Structure 1
């Protein structure tokens, strides 16, 4: 078997660097504003994956010197109750960022809840106002995972200008905002999805390939152009005989694709940590606005 040659895009290391920068900047602003930045993460129910993400976010908050106003609600919490909590947090001067942890239990309307968040406190960058600013190329809070992908490319001096970027997935969380961010940096962008005919012929044209689907081993070696940059946004828990307790894998068959790609992100340790770092960054940007 040939040895993997791709260089690793280390999201974990970059996320740590971003967190260290925030940790260094917060004390100075704290003197002027009179408090530390605050992030409120709202979680409903007991989805174990969501609980793990929320713990990571709250831990990261405390590490950089942010106040965490995390609220965990029972599964049966109503839409009205959550909306009233969001309205309170919108008014709370200690809170700079609000995030509703997705997915929510089926009886709740996530879109409607996101609409209730003050766009200036929209730490996840998913409010229509912030997505509209992205479409128009205006300053605004950016969706965390796509922004994390762009930061990773920047950190490794990978220019996307003029390059063919293929994004697989068209979700409002990743695919659509990422395509817009790549366009903003002058990439030529193709968005593929579950209805795309002959996906492999599309992916083989990609200078930059970014799957964000949630399907293990979707991208195999024969689907990747030699020398491509592969950024794996997928996170899937796989349980098999080797790992009965389960392990995390991406959408890319990592070992084989690493033999042909020039750069690749690992899962875990690639895009995941960057999502949390950008969440903190967004909260900090909202906080910074308080300095008059």
Structure 2
């Protein structure tokens, strides 16, 4: 690490994220490792090189932009962000949006607070994740942001243009954005609604709001899946790991369809589900049909009967005698 001013340091890009880049490439982060808002990291996490490089550019110089990561469920949108920020000791204020979320939920609210247990409470203003991130130079991470009401989300427009936050309900408190303050969002759409009908609750967002975001796309990646399974389940035979990935690829194609707007089934084998399948297969390795039993618990029991039958047939074709 190379120390800089204001508690910042430069981390070597290649060794920090185990990606192939030029030896002198660095990425900015914090020296302090004690902040409770620093995300926890997974030592075996596998990074996508392109995603790291694009996110690094945003962190270094947002130029008035926010960062929007889109992709199918369980493809690594949130984990990719938090794993990077965790290694940079960059604190994160993380929330998950929903249809009833209001801008005031991000700014803060008044609450009765006791200074010590048993003491008489007094009314105090409690800063929300947006106010805390702006004040202290944290990243505000809003997951599932496309589920938020577009009229409420547009309230962030001034903030994204580097203007101060004025909290009228706290006697007009003014918070100027910290130089290290960043806004990052994730969503299953790109603000245009959900044409597939698979992601319930997604709203079409205001075009003026979306114009303030850089967009990164994260999709399922079989090569990354292979590295993840190898690192997490080294004792699982390679032939079984590869078979699981093969099944996952077929299921994803059925889920996404040829045009990517929704296919013939309503469930998918995300990377999250793939890891769950491998975990359960290892846990129940004494079961006479451990592969099938693990897949049932990981995915099939929440699929429609005809979908479960189709996925089971795919797995049977892929694994052959191993399936039985």
TM-score (norm 1): 0.28
TM-score (norm 2): 0.26
Determine which structure has more spread, i.e. the larger CA radius of gyration.
2
